[in-house]
Amino acid sequence: MDRLHLMTVFVAVAEEASFARGARRLGMSPPAVTRAIAALEERLGVKLLNRTTRCVRTTEAGQRYLDDSRRIIGEVDEADEAAAGINAEPRGHLAITAPVLFGKMFVLPGIVEFLRRYPDMEVSALFLDRVVNLLEEGLDVGVRIGELPDSSMKAIRVGSVRRVLCASPGYLDKHGIPHSLAALSEHSIVSATAVSPTSEWKFGQGSELSTVRVKPRLALSSNDAAMEAALQGFGITRLLSYQVAAHVASGQLKIMLSEFEPPPMPIHVLHREGRYTSVKIRSFVDLMAVRLREDRALN
C-alpha cells in the first residue's frame, strides 16, 4: 500500500480513537482500515496502537509517529496547494481553537463568514479556557490571549485586552465606589476562576506591582457567570475588557480603579509555520486578522 495512504489512515484512527470512526471519516470500510493499520505496523516493525473493547490509544512509539505523520501530511497538502497556484480556492477541513467566551463572541462569527465565503471548507472548533498544544491535538489555528512562549508557531498580533474591575451602577450606588485597592476588602467580590484562578489579584507593573488578597463571596468557574452576577448587582468582579465592553458601553457595568490595571495582554492568531502556508490556513488567518484588528473592543 502507498505509504502516505497508510499514514493518513493511521492519523484518522488515532485522532478518532476508534477504527470505526476513523473508517467513517475516510469513507472506507472498517476491515480495510484494519488491514491498513496492520500493514503499517508490519512495515515499521513496531506496535502503534493499543486496542481495547472501548477505545484505541497510541503507544509511545505511535504518538511520535502520529506527530511526524501529521507534519508530513500537512507539508504534502501545502505543496499540492502551492503547485495549484495562489488563486486556488480553500477546500478541506480546518481545526481551530480559542478561549470559550472569546471564541463565541469573536471567532465564531469569523468562522461563519469563512464557511459562507468558501463552500468547499469544513471547520471544527474547540473552545476551551486552557492552553491547547496545536501540534499534539491536531489543530491548525489557535487564538491566544496573553504572552506567548517561544515555539515553532507563526504568531500574528491582532489586538490586546485588559484585566478590569467592574460592577453594576446599582451596586456602586448602594455600597460606594472603592478608591483604593485596600478598599476592595470592604466589598462583595465575585471571582471568575478562568480569569483570576487564585485569591491573589495582581495590579500595576514593575516597581508599582501590588498584590491584593481577596476573599470572594461568590467563586464561579466561568466568565459569563461572573459577569451575570455583576450585572445583577451582587458585587465587584474582575474580567477581561472585551468580555464586558458591550455592558460598559450600555452603562450596565462600570469600570473602576483603572489606574491600577496591569499591562494589557496581547491577542495572537497562531498557526503552524512550514515551507508553504496552506491556502485554507492563510485564508482563514487573513480573514480573522482583519476582523479582530477592526474590532474596537480589542484595540
273-283 pLDDT, tens per residue? 655 567 888 89
Residue 247 sits at the vertex; the CA angle it makes with 243 and 251, to the nearest 5 degrees, is: 150
Domains parsed from the chain with CATH numbers: 3-83 (1.10.10.10), 89-156+265-298 (3.40.190.10), 163-260 (3.40.190.10)
Helix, strand and coil content of the chain, in percent to the nearest 5, comes to 45, 25, 30
Residue 8 sits at the vertex; the CA angle it makes with 52 and 4, to the nearest 5 degrees, is: 130
C-alpha cell, 211: 498584590
In this structure, of 58-67, 116-125, 147-156, 171-180, the range with the lowest mean pLDDT score is: 147-156
Residue 184: pLDDT band (50, 70, 90) is very high
User: Rounded distance, CA 143 to CA 284, Å?
Assistant: 12
Which has the closest alpha carbon to 144: 20, 34, 155?
A: 155
Span 30-48, mean pLDDT? 91
188-236 pLDDT, tens per residue? 999 987 666 667 888 988 777 888 888 899 999 888 899 999 999 999 9
Q: Is the pLDDT of residue 86 over 60?
A: no
Q: Is the pTM of this model over 0.75?
A: no
Question: Beta strands of the chain (E only): which ranges?
Answer: 49-51, 56-58, 92-98, 121-127, 141-145, 153-161, 163-167, 189-192, 200-203, 210-213, 218-220, 236-240, 254-256, 265-272
pLDDT at 175 (0 to 100) = 95
Mean pLDDT, the chain, rounded, equals: 88
C-alpha cell, 75: 507539508
User: Rounded distance, CA 282 to CA 280, Å?
Assistant: 6
Contact 274/75 with Cβ under 8 angstroms?
yes
Amino acid identity, position 34: T
User: Rounded distance, CA 2 to CA 213, Å?
Assistant: 61
In this structure, of 13-17, 170-174, 206-210, the range with the lowest mean pLDDT score is: 206-210
125-157 pLDDT, tens per residue? 999 888 877 877 778 899 999 888 766 678 899
Q: Is the pLDDT of residue 272 over 90?
A: no
**What is the three-class DSSP state of 272?**
strand
Residue 154, beta-bridge partner list: 271
**What is the three-class DSSP state of 133?**
coil
Contacts for 157 with CB less than 8 Å, ≥ 6 apart: 266, 267, 268
pLDDT at 2 (0 to 100) = 86
Which has the closest alpha carbon to 160: 264, 248, 258, 245?
A: 264
Span 168-192, mean pLDDT? 93
- Backbone φ and ψ for 138, nearest 5 degrees, come out as 65, 35
pLDDT at 96 (0 to 100) = 94
- Backbone φ and ψ for 133, nearest 5 degrees, come out as -80, 110
Which has the closest alpha carbon to 127: 113, 139, 114?
A: 139
User: Rounded distance, CA 264 to CA 98, Å?
Assistant: 18
pLDDT at 252 (0 to 100) = 97
Which has the closest alpha carbon to 247: 236, 231, 258?
A: 231
